[in-house]
Each structure stands twice: as structure tokens, then as C-alpha cells.
Amino acid sequence: MEADAATLRAVDANLNRVGEGLRVAEDILRYCLDDGPLQARVKALRHRLAAAAPGEPYVGSRRPKEDVGFDAPGELEYQRPVLQALLRANFKRAQEGLRSLEELFKLREGQTAAEMKRLRYDVYEAERLTLLRFSAKSLARGLYLVLTDPRDGYEKLTEWALQAELPAVQLRYKGDDDREFLSVALAMRRITAGSQTRFIVNDRPDIALMADADGLHLGQQDIPPQAVRRLIGPDKLLGLSTHNLDQVHGANKEPVDYIGFGPLYGTTSKADPDPVVGPGQLSAAAAVSRHPIVAIGGLTATRIAELDLGGCRNAAVISAVSQADNPLAAMTAINRLVLEAV
């Protein structure tokens, strides 16, 4: 590339800027989010950058101590409140650097400029896919409410769940009328639409899709998660019940976003409940799971207050809320207990 030293210096700075931004995003995906496919995607972008514009010819033009912008950081330069903000900042860093490189390479190397443009658009897509993990595909901390034929009705309990600002409400319909199942799901979707409360359907991917639920929860005997993920796509939340440590290990290989673990105590919510694992196994499950854990099974306010939820983001209840004299007060109190515990 025949250009003056100032142009070479600008190219060098932006190659570093893009590579550094992509490396930070890659490390977060690899070490913090355990997302192999996305980590590989960002790594491939770094390699494409190095192949299209090797940095060696530009190093000689580098003058870091003379950079007039070094002492003028942005107002929010050292403020990254959450991991999501850190990712967004570094993807933007890479995108802006690629735009500068595209313009600089237009001076002499049109093909390289075109590759910088293609790379920029591919970084846009990598950012989109990464940040999706923090939208529909995440559960906030707190009470995960499961509804199975609640005394006060599905719609009223769902409305109260929004008032209590619960992170999730699951429809666990056990009747045999599919039309009613869909009708209830559509009603719960209307109530939760646009709120912070995720609407999850239990067992049935078809109902989840028809109701446009935020997610689906599977049991061990349901359709395998790999097949369900292909059906519902990458954007919906997918959970899986586990009942022992072997199943937790198995879930680590599945394309799910969280696991339920239990029953921790005896429960009357199922006609044929799984064997009780006991509360002592919860920390062991948290130690080996690569997914967030929802503790479940016979939980009450008293048991949650005594439970070590350090390795969990959520606790799920059914009858402790739906059969309470004041369900709204119960869910509000239990949600507070979970938030304080985790």
C-alpha cells in the first residue's frame, strides 16, 4: 500500500483496535458465557482480518507516545456496569475500526476495502447473535412461578406475577384439551407481552410456537433438546428438567439455556413424582452445571429461607403460591427471599 506515514499509522491503529475488540468479545464468549459456536465465529473474524491485512507492514509507523488522543478518554470509558455493556462496547470498537479501515484502504487497495466492509457486516451479525443471549434467552434472578390449574385461574395468577415483577411464569397444563391449552397460552401471552416476565410453556413446542411464548421447558422424557432447538430456533429460551447429577452432566452438552434441578423435597404437584434428590445435592449440581439452575420440588417460603441457593439464579414453586390464601403476597414474599438468597 503506497501511502504517507500518517495513513500507515492510521491503518496500524485501526487494525489494533479491531483485533483488540474482537479478542475481548471472544474471551467473554469463551470464558464467561461458555459459548463455543459464537466464540469460534468471532475467532474466525479475527483470522479473516489478519489474512486480509497483515499488521507487520504498518508497525514501523506506530507512534503511541505521540498520540494526541491518548489523554482524552470518553466520559464512560472506565464504566462498564454489566457484561452485556462490555460486549457491546467492544463490538462497537471493532465495527468503527473496520469502517475506518474500509475508507483508508479505498486510497489504494479496493479489494481490501471491500473485505473490510464484509467483515464489518459480519461483526454486526456476531454482535446481534451474542446480545440475543441477554434478551429473550435469559432469566433474571428471582421466583420462577409454575402454574398448574391454579385455584384463582391462570390469567389472574399471571397478572399478579407481573405485579410482583417475577422473572418467569410457566404454563404447566396437564389437561387433555389441546384447544383449551392453546387458549390459556394465548391469554397468558397477551398478559406478559412487553413485560419483564418471561412466559414459558411446559412440554409442548407446538403450543409454545403458536402462542409465541418466550420459551419452552422440557422434561427428560420429552423430545430431545437438539431436535427442539432446531424447531423453535435460536432466540427462544429453552429449559430442561434434571433429577440427578448424571442428568446435569448430560445437560451440559445440550443446547439449553437453563436447567431445573430437583425435586429437592417431596412434592404433591405430580401424580408420579421423580425421586427426591434432597437439598444437599443442589450445591453439587451447581458445581458441575454450565447452565443456570432453577431449584424446584416441594419448595415453600420456609424451605427457601433455609436453602443454600448460592449456585442458583432461581427457585420454582407451584402450590406455595397457587394454593396460598393471598397468592400475590406469597409470590412477592418468596421472590424477595430468592433475590436475597442468590
37 and 163 in a common domain: no
Determine the pLDDT at residue 133: 67
The answer, yes or no, to whether residue 65 has pLDDT greater than 90, is no
Total tally of structural domains belonging to the chain: 2
Cα angle: 137, vertex 140, 141; to 5 degrees = 140
Find all residues with CB under 8 Å of 259, minimum gap 6, and list them. Answer: 239, 240, 241, 242, 248, 251, 289, 291, 292, 293, 294
Segments forming the whole domain that contains residue 190: 142-341
pTM greater than the 0.75 cutoff: no
126 and 37 in a common domain: yes
34 and 9 in a common domain: yes
Mean pLDDT of 15-44: 92
DSSP tag of 152: T
68 and 112 in a common domain: yes
Model confidence over 243-254: pLDDT tens digits? Answer: 999 999 999 999
CB 189 within 8 A of CB 200: no
The answer, yes or no, to whether residue 73 has pLDDT greater than 60, is no
Determine the pLDDT at residue 1: 43
The CATH number linked to 164 is 3.20.20.70
The C-alpha atoms of residue 107 and residue 334 are separated, in whole angstroms, by: 63
DSSP lists the bridge partners of residue 315 as 143, 295
Out of 134, 157, 178, a domain closes at: 134
Determine the pLDDT at residue 77: 56
Determine the pLDDT at residue 206: 97
The answer, yes or no, to whether residue 332 has pLDDT greater than 80, is yes
Model confidence over 120-167: pLDDT tens digits? Answer: 999 999 998 888 766 556 788 999 999 999 999 999 999 999 999 999
Determine the pLDDT at residue 310: 73
Average pLDDT of the residues of the chain: 90
157 and 130 in a common domain: no
